[in-house]
Amino acid sequence: MRLQSAIFTLGDTLFTPDGAARAGLDKALSLFKMEGVWLGAVTALSAEDAQKALEKAGLNSYFRFVLTESVALCKADSGTMFERAMKRLHSQKDDTIVFSGSLAAIQNAKDAGFRTVAVQGSAGAADWSTMQQLATQSLAQYSELLSDSV
């Protein structure tokens, strides 16, 4: 089945602590865009702060939307949020992957029936180990996507 859409949680899934795009992310997002994969982001930030963060990192052009907790009326790391984002992407669960650096988001997305990619960020060693076990795939760096298929 072809990947149709991907949902990213904002935070260390996309950004380094100083707000720059993570290494290799621009190439991975460019590849998704070339392959026609629609991208959405979910966040606990305000819409304005999320857009500023994406613009600062040079990533705003890759995402069709940013869905915030205040708009979706649910937590950014909840299965409900991922389902609402998937609907905005006009996709199905089988065709959608959730990328996150949060253990709660990986667990909730998996529980909701999504394929998941755990992205190593600020998670401690114990959380990272659990995320690797739960997720469909795990990435220490986005450059791994260029050699792997999700």
DSSP of 78-100: SHHHHHHHHHHTT--GGGEEEEE
Nearest to 62 by CA among 106, 8, 133: 8
At 24 the pLDDT is 92
117 pairs with which residues across the strands? 99, 137
Q: What is the pLDDT of residues 26-43, one digit of tens each?
A: 999 999 999 999 999 999
Per-residue tokens: 44: 């606990």
At 121 the pLDDT is 80
Number of residues in the chain: 150
CATH fit for domain 5-144, picks 3.40.50.2000, 3.40.50.2300, 3.40.50.1000, 3.30.70.260: 3.40.50.1000
Q: Which amino acid is at 113?
A: G
Contact, 116 vs 110, CB < 8 A? yes
Look at residue 108 and give its three-state secondary structure. Answer: helix
Per-residue tokens: 50: 């999320």
What is the domain partition of the chain in residue ranges?
Answer: 5-144
At 122 the pLDDT is 75
> Using CA atoms, how far apart are residues 65 and 80, in angstroms rounded to an integer?
17
At 9 the pLDDT is 96
> Using CA atoms, how far apart are residues 148 and 150, in angstroms rounded to an integer?
6
At 148 the pLDDT is 56
At 123 the pLDDT is 80
At 149 the pLDDT is 52
Q: Which residues of the chain have pLDDT under 50?
A: 1
